[in-house]
Amino acid sequence: MAAVRRWSEGMSSDNIKGLVLAISSSLFIGASFIVKKKGLKKAGASGVRAGVGGYSYLLEPLWWFGMITMVVGEIANFAAYAFAPAILVTPLGALSIIISAVLAHIILREKLHTFGILGCALCVVGSTTIVLHAPQERQIESVTEVWDLATEPGCIFLIILFLAHNIIFFSKLLNCKQVK
């Protein structure tokens, strides 16, 4: 308990609100996938499956509950960015994948293999490490400061890499007669 108290003393109340919102967002989003899948299975059992062009899932309340749960999670995630910096909120998005995998194993009886468990453990370790060692958020004072950050060599390299990738990808895509 003392370690948690020491860790939270260095955080502002806004950061704590953002973290709580991000974690609750992951819970809602991770659970929504399971609820929607159960709704799809239920709708597929009584009508035409969605995979073959059916729309019976739109009449299934369980699927709609899953969709509403996902929307609530996304709203909580959006709100989390208002309170905490992206370096704290973004890594916690990986928790939704872990929650979904664990709930699929428990509720849907899907097999979670060794590499899935290892992947979940690595996500938890990585997210925790990033959140615990995140730097303090720095306030940007002027447009000049934004320009200075945007013209740093690392940022310019990433912009050039992004543009080169998109030019190559879309030129290949446009030269194809049929996209497969």
pLDDT > 90 fraction of the chain, expressed in percent and rounded = 46
Decide if 70 is inside a domain: yes
Decide if 1 is inside a domain: no
Whether residue 111 is found in the same domain as residue 147: no
Whether residue 134 is found in the same domain as residue 160: no
Instruction: Look at residue 139 in the predicted model and tell me its pLDDT.
Output: 77
Instruction: Look at residue 178 in the predicted model and tell me its pLDDT.
Output: 53
Whether residue 112 is found in the same domain as residue 146: no
The model carries a pTM of 0.70
Question: Is residue 79 pLDDT above 60, yes or no?
Answer: yes
Query: Which phi and psi angles does 136 have, rounded to 5°?
Result: -65, 145
Could you tell me if 56 and 40 are in contact, meaning their C-beta atoms sit under 8 angstroms apart? no
Q: Residue type at 55?
A: Y
Question: Is residue 130 pLDDT above 90, yes or no?
Answer: no
Instruction: Look at residue 72 in the predicted model and tell me its pLDDT.
Output: 97
Reported confidence tier of residue 26, pLDDT bands at 50, 70, 90: very high
* DSSP symbols for 41-97: HHHHHHS--GGGT--GGGG-HHHHHHHHHHHHHHHHHHHHHHHS-HHHHGGGGHHHH
**What tokens does 61 get?**
């309340």
3-state secondary structure of 142: coil
Whether residue 107 is found in the same domain as residue 148: no
Whether residue 59 is found in the same domain as residue 42: yes
Whether residue 110 is found in the same domain as residue 70: yes
**Spatial distance between the Cα atoms of 90 and 132, rounded to a whole number of angstroms:** 13
Whether residue 18 is found in the same domain as residue 101: yes
Q: 4 vs 114, which has greater pLDDT?
A: 114
pLDDT digits (tens, 9 = 90+) for 34-52: 999 999 888 888 877 777 7
Question: Is residue 105 pLDDT above 80, yes or no?
Answer: yes
The number of folded domains in the chain is 2
Residue 174's domain spans which residues? 141-180
Average pLDDT on 105-129 reads: 91
Q: Residue type at 129?
A: T
Integer-rounded Cα Rg, in Å, for the chain is 21
Could you tell me if 104 and 34 are in contact, meaning their C-beta atoms sit under 8 angstroms apart? yes
